[in-house]
Structures are given as structure tokens and as C-alpha cells.
Amino acid sequence: MAEVKIAAEPRTEFGKGAARRVRRANQVPAVIYGHGAEPKHVSVPGHELLLALRTANVLISLEIDGKSELVIPKAVQRDPIKGFLEHVDLLAVKRGEKVSVEVPIAVEGELAPGGNLLEHVLAALPVEAEATHIPEGVTVSVEGLEAGASILAKDIELPKGTTLTVDEDAVVIQIVAAQVEVEETEEEAEAEGEAAPAAAEGEEAAEA
């Protein structure tokens, strides 16, 4: 897992006004937590941080006042409309330390023919890994799977040194039959069939 180095600056002003000033300077307000220490408030270059966050659970070496501190992102707040970074919570980690994270699940392969649908029961896989060797993701094959099939957490191959932090029998992905549209069509046909006699009765009453 690659390490991204970013220079950060201590932050001594707080509140919404201070945060806006930080963002206007193309920086992102951030807080570092972990190891029982007092939270550290820093500002991080927005563009560099945005590029780093493209990698899930990226390991960042923050350079602060001539010292390096390893962190991983724990919570990212973005502007709901424009999408820019508003605030980031960072977790301090140490080499050799185990951390609990969620890694993305990538799917490969084609389902069996028949209009079957793939449903992600878990959006990401909870695992424990060494802080400097967090996997960027795991890959699951659904090749040839039919409706009713499912992939459990224990079925997913994990990199060496990575373990599950979720029940091994937890369903991660399941394959379901695409029957919704057919059922809706039948219900609509029944509704139209019931409406037709009612409309006819209304027309007869009007003529009378």
C-alpha cells in the first residue's frame, strides 16, 4: 500500500468563520484523533487531499512542523451540491498496528442468462488489517451465478494479514430474479379489468 506525503499546518482558529477562511485558501480543515491523545486540528491542501482520497483507506504521512504522523481517513464531509471537501476526520495509526476498516467490494463476471439481478447486501467489507497494509479492495466473481445464489463473507479471498470483522456467514452479495416488472404488469392488467365494468356501469347510469 503506497504512502502519500502531504504537508499540513496546525490550526489555531476554530468555528464556521475560521473554517471558511481555511477553505478560501484552498485548504481543508481536519482533525486528527487516536491513541488517547488530544485531537489535533490541522489544515491540509485541498487538491492534494482530494487526490489522495481517491484511494480507499489511503495511508497519509502528514508533515506537521517538521514531524511526520501517519493517518488514515475516517470521515469525509463534502458539500452536498458542489462536492468539494468541507472537513475530514483522520485517525492516527502506527506501523504494525491493527486497524478496523471497510474495504470496497469489486464485482467481476457475468450472471447466468435470464434477467437476474445482483444485490449488494454489504456496500463494503469490514476487515482488520495492519495499518500500513490495508487492502485497497477485494474482488468477487459472480460468473454464472443464478437467482438464489449468494456470496458470504467467508467466500471472499482476503490478502495475507487481513481478517474479517463481520460474521463469516454474513451475506455480502445475493442474486435475485427480476420479477418486479412482470408482477407490476399483471397487477395493472387486473386493475384495468376491474375498472372496465365499473366504467360501463357509470355510463349506463348516466344514460338512465
Same domain, 43 and 108: no
- pLDDT category at 182 given cuts 50, 70, 90 is very low
Across the range 10-23, mean pLDDT stands at 86
What is the count of structural domains for the chain? 3
pLDDT at 185 over 70: no
pLDDT at 166: 97
Which of 68, 93, 118 corresponds to the end of one domain?
93
Same domain, 68 and 116: no
Same domain, 105 and 85: no
Of 143, 179, 138, give the one whose Cα is nearest residue 162: 138
Return the bridge partners of 107, or none: 140
CA 134 to CA 98: how far, in whole Å?
A: 9
Q: For residue 84, give the CATH number of its domain.
A: 2.40.240.10
The whole-model pTM stands at 0.74
Tell me the residue range of the domain where 192 lies: 178-208
Same domain, 88 and 129: no
CA 37 to CA 207: how far, in whole Å?
A: 85
Of 2, 33, 27, give the one whose Cα is nearest residue 13: 27
pLDDT tens, 76-105?
Answer: 999 888 888 999 999 999 989 999 999 999
Same domain, 71 and 149: no
Grid look-up 486528527 returns 32
Same domain, 89 and 139: no
